[in-house]
């Protein structure tokens, strides 16, 4: 897997996978949904802010923080999306999917 992002940013997903495979005890296996330099260009910043991945006992778990949570649409979609991302990362890293922990900031019903 190789991508040239020269001048375009940083491949966070590739970095997450590399850390899971090569340094699974790292407590900085983080995927950020925010690019602060682009926030002023957005109508609304992403509700999901970051996810942190943990490896323990051959299981990959994920904790995701969501700054604003819309009960009807946003929360179910984010649960499905990040649970799937955790399963996909576990698969490519030869691990078992573990827990998905969802932390909500401003919860709206």
Task: Write down how long the chain is.
Answer: 109
Place of tokens 């897997």: 1
N- to C-terminal Cα separation, the chain: 41
The H or E element that residue 20 is part of is: helix 12-22
Q: Which of 47, 62, 87, 93 is catalytic?
A: 47
Active site residue 93: no
Sheet holding 48-56, edge to edge: 30-32, 48-56, 59-70, 96-108
Q: Which residues are catalytic?
A: 47
């Amino acid at each position: 897997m190789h991508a040239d992002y020269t001048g375009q940013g940083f491949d966070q997903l590739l970095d997450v996978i590399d850390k899971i495979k090569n340094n699974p005890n790292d407590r900085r296996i983080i995927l950020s949904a925010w690019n602060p330099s682009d926030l002023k260009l957005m109508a609304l910043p992403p509700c999901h802010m970051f996810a942190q991945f943990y490896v323990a006992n051959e299981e990959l778990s994920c904790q995701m923080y969501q700054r604003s949570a819309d009960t009807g649409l946003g929360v179910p979609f984010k649960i499905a999306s990040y649970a799937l991302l955790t399963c996909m990362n576990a698969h490519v890293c030869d691990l078992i999917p573990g827990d998905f922990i969802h932390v909500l900031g401003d919860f709206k019903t």
